[in-house]
Structure 1
Amino acid sequence: MDYSVVDPDDLERVDERPCDLRRLSEAAGMDNVAINRFDAKPGEQLPLAYHVHDTQEEAFLVLSGTLHVETPEGELVVPEGSMFAAQPESPHRAYNPDDAEEPVSVVAIGAPSVDDVAPYEPAE
């Protein structure tokens, strides 16, 4: 049997990201699911860009603050304690707006744990 206890604050921040990202699943030795914690100050986005996944399902559980998610269908507002989910081939960009009054803390879960992300360019 194999168990892990991971404190995100003990992990190194991932460099060159738009906000504070800590890779939880990697620290726990998990291969089949990607679990990350994001902490975004006002004006910061969570992923590197507006993007879409070919096969990965992705969910964002908001621990504190309010998450905003841009989609081709409009903006969604995800309050503390709620979850945003995106099915494969559903473009999205999660962020904390410039005028937010507080940071947002989110646990992101993606499965399967594959690198299938592609940039998404919204139509003008």
Structure 2
Amino acid sequence: MVTNTETDGDDAYAVVDPDDLESVEGRPCDLRRLSEATGLENLAINRFCAEPGEQLPLAYHYHETQEEAFIVLSGTLQVETPDREFSVPEGSVFTAKPESPHRAYNPDDADDAVEVIAVGAPPVPDDAVAYDPDDS
């Protein structure tokens, strides 16, 4: 449910329950777009819920101009980068600067789903660039 409080005719505030939003089809895990639902234009916010064996984004990638942060609400997120693997526990944040390749996922052998809020700025459409670690 989205609740807006208007101020001087503008939608200045919003409260959104991600479970009330439609899941984005064609994704490897459950994705709910929060910034779109709240009308935010300068910040991309998404909620991901990945079962064991699912990855969050569509592919290993980097962003040309967007900074990205993954805030782990529950479970443990694994993030692969060209140099190492990160294990990001519940309550922690993983960040990636522009042009920093990464792949976030929940491993096959995980005991539980991982729930993550992803925040990116600026919200640039088509900013994600596929990355193949074998080409590096």
TM-score, length basis structure 2: 0.90
Q: Which runs of 4+ in 1 moved over 3 A?
A: none
What is the CA-CA distance between 1:74 and the residue it aligns to? 1.1
State the distance in 2 between where 1:66 and 1:52 align: 21
5 Å-filtered alignment, 1:39-78, equals 39-78=49-88
> Secondary structure of 1:110's partner?
strand
Question: CA RMSD, aligned part only?
Answer: 0.8
Segments of structure 2 that go 5 or more residues without pairing to the other structure are 1-6
State the distance in 1 between where 2:29 and 2:134 align: 26
The count of residues paired between Structure 1 and Structure 2 equals: 124
5 Å-filtered alignment, 1:12-23, equals 12-23=22-33
Alignment identity in percent?
70
TM-score, length basis structure 1: 0.98
State the distance in 1 between where 2:106 and 2:84 align: 15
Segments of structure 1 that go 5 or more residues without pairing to the other structure are none
State the distance in 2 between where 1:10 and 1:123 align: 40
Output the amino acid matched with 2:30.
D
- Note if 1:123 corresponds to 2:134: yes
State the distance in 2 between where 1:54 and 1:19 align: 24
